């Protein structure tokens, strides 16, 4: 949350399409329960789960409790708290492709209005496959359900489109039913505590602004590496690939936060305007330069922590000759006064050596080195390392004298470590984002032009990769740091990827 406080809504109704699905069980319901425990939910609230499956309300509530027990950061529920929370949950089966099936939602909304004697905020959460987003929006309209621009919101998950054309079409259809102020395009990375703290770190500390530009920053790396594979999502991943799944949204959003200009205030549109400015300033990747500005990979079989794992082409529902990338790296430039000439390197991949999400700013060398003797140890370049996972920390890597009679230098970390200071328990990303949706704060949600600008940037790469099949797949083994062409991408400029434990 970027604002210093949140105003509670008087009353809120959540209607969760996909109410029996994995996202609801793993993320949405644990987040709502934790908000309830921390007294952030309104005094009057209702949660209406829905799916095509017919289900007894008590069975639904029991299933949700099992999920919250398993996935909540607060551990298992206790009887008293769960009883008070679950009293606000109900279930309504509905075929989301049939507008007539939406009529019961209107009756439930009217019921709560009369019971509370208040006009509630209505949040429609589309926890379903993207192909149903427009269907749900259209049927909300056909069923004449609540759609007051001041109190009604719709939340849609990623992926928001599969390319620029489909994203534009989706925006067009949603904006034909809802106002932009009602549409909450969710990217859970923006709700992570460390990601939000980047804003505070940059804009609440006067010492950072003079350093945060091309005069002092040599290059920037944004890295999200994962040990896991596709986890049975072959049908999805075959049509997505890692460039769509991670870079178009998560990594580009991180790049925007790192490189944006200071906003005038934390008004949602002011912050998002500055992010869009970054995307508009990104240097376009010409078709003839895709090979030198990007790298792709696909994992083969191998061993992860003593366990043998399949190669991507051996995974369930994956084409044995698949050309889908499970690793992608890009070299990008932001062509403006602050960042002109500073390369931004982005990489992400599956089945890599270690799971980690880091942002590293490497600063330029000192202008004159007075520590030239072998005994002294030449000073290394300073780095600012923002670790999002597995640990949450911000590290400034500086040079300092090693205690002793000789002038020997060593790298020391000045660390702000979340895990070491647990005075307050950090909320999960979905807790932050759901609370923002309840209070009507769109700061951490993507706007239509932001989504389309991100797609526009990566389309030349997507088009090139789809037309030019990679002949060397698979080209990296499980438990490695990725393909050789990704190392070459950054090595051509005289740099290397910062891998853990380098960042520690």
437: how many CB neighbours lie within 10 A of its CB?
22
pLDDT score recorded for residue 400 = 76
Asked if 249 and 159 touch (Cβ cutoff 8 Å), the reply is yes
pLDDT score recorded for residue 78 = 93
**Token pair recorded at residue 482:** 């990725």
Which residues form the catalytic set?
Answer: 250
Cα dihedral sign, 379-381-384-389: negative
pLDDT score recorded for residue 377 = 56
410: how many CB neighbours lie within 10 A of its CB?
13
pLDDT score recorded for residue 422 = 54
Predicted structure pTM score: 0.90
Confirm whether residue 350 is marked as ligand binding: yes
pLDDT score recorded for residue 179 = 94
Q: How far is CA 168 from CA 172, 173, 241, 279, in A?
A: 6, 9, 20, 16
pLDDT score recorded for residue 48 = 96
**Token pair recorded at residue 184:** 């909450």
State the pairing for strand pair 393-401/409-417: antiparallel
Confirm whether residue 95 is marked as ligand binding: yes
Q: Is 90 helix (H, G, I), strand (E, B) or coil?
A: strand
Residue 147: is it exposed, middle or buried by C-beta count within 10 angstroms (0-12/13-18/19+)?
middle
Average pLDDT of the chain, as a whole number: 89
Question: Which residues in 23-181 belong to E strands, given as ranges?
Answer: 44-50, 89-91, 121-126, 152-156
The tens digit of pLDDT for each residue in 351-367 reads: 999 999 999 999 998 88
Asked if 3 and 441 touch (Cβ cutoff 8 Å), the reply is yes
Confirm whether residue 50 is marked as ligand binding: no
Confirm whether residue 404 is marked as ligand binding: no
Confirm whether residue 245 is marked as ligand binding: yes
pLDDT score recorded for residue 421 = 56
State the pairing for strand pair 343-349/217-225: parallel
**Token pair recorded at residue 207:** 């010492």
Stretches where the chain sits below pLDDT 50 are 1-5, 503-504
pLDDT score recorded for residue 4 = 43
Confirm whether residue 24 is marked as ligand binding: yes
| Sequence-ordered alpha helix ranges (H) in 373-483 | 429-439, 448-467
Confirm whether residue 172 is marked as ligand binding: no
Long-range contacts of 109-113 (CB under 8 A, 24+ apart): 109/13, 109/145, 109/146, 112/11, 112/13, 112/44, 112/46
Residues near 469 by Cβ (< 8 Å), separated by ≥ 6?
323
Nearest-angstrom CA–CA distance, 155 and 248? 19
């Amino acid at each position: 949350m970027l604002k210093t406080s949140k105003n509670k809504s008087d009353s809120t109704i959540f209607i969760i399409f996909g109410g029996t699905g994995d996202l609801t069980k793993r993320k949405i319901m644990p987040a709502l329960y934790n908000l309830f425990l921390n007294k952030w939910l309104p005094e009057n609230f209702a949660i209406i789960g829905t799916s095509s499956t017919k289900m007894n309300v008590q069975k639904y509530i029991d299933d949700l409790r099992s999920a919250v027990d398993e996935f909540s950061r607060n551990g298992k529920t206790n009887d008293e708290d769960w009883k008070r929370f679950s009293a606000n949950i109900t279930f309504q089966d509905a075929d989301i492709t049939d507008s007539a099936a939406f009529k019961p939602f209107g009756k439930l909304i009217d019921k709560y209005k009369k019971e509370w004697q208040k006009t509630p905020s209505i949040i429609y959460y589309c926890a379903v496959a993207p192909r149903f987003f427009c269907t749900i929006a259209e049927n909300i309209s056909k069923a004449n359900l609540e759609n007051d621009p001041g109190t009604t919101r719709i939340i849609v998950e990623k992926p928001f489109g599969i390319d620029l054309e489909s994203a534009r079409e989706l925006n067009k259809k949603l904006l034909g039913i809802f106002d932009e102020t009602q549409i909450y395009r969710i990217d859970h990375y923006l709700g992570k505590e460390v990601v939000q703290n980047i804003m505070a770190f940059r804009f609440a500390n006067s010492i950072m602004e003079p350093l945060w530009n091309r005069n002092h920053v040599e290059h920037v790396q944004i890295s999200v590496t994962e040990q896991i594979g596709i986890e049975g999502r072959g049908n999805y991943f075959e049509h997505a690939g890692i460039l769509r799944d991670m870079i178009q949204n998560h990594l580009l959003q991180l790049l925007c936060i790192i490189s944006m200009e200071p906003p005038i205030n934390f008004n949602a549109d002011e912050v998002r305007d500055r992010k869009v400015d970054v995307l508009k300033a990104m240097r376009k990747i010409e078709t003839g330069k895709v090979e030198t500005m990007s790298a792709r990979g696909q994992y083969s079989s191998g061993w992860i922590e003593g366990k043998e794992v399949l190669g991507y082409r051996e995974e369930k529902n994956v084409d044995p000759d698949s050309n889908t990338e499970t690793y992608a790296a890009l070299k990008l430039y932001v062509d403006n006064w602050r960042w002109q000439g500073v390369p931004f390197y982005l990489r992400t991949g599956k089945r890599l050596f270690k799971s980690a999400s880091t942002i590293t700013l490497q600063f330029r060398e000192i202008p004159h080195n007075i520590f030239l003797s072998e005994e002294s140890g030449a000073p290394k370049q300073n780095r600012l390392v923002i670790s999002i996972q597995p640990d949450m920390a911000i590290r400034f890597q500086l040079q300092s004298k090693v205690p002793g009679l000789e002038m020997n230098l060593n790298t020391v970390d000045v660390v702000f470590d979340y895990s070491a200071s647990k005075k307050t328990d950090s909320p999960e990303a979905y807790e932050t984002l759901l609370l923002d949706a309840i209070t009507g704060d769109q700061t951490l949600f993507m706007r239509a032009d932001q989504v389309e600008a991100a797609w526009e940037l990566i389309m030349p790469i997507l088009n090139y990769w789809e037309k030019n099949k990679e002949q060397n797949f698979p080209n990296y083994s499980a438990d490695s740091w990725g393909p050789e062409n990704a190392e070459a991408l950054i090595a051509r400029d005289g740099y290397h990827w910062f891998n853990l434990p380098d960042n520690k």
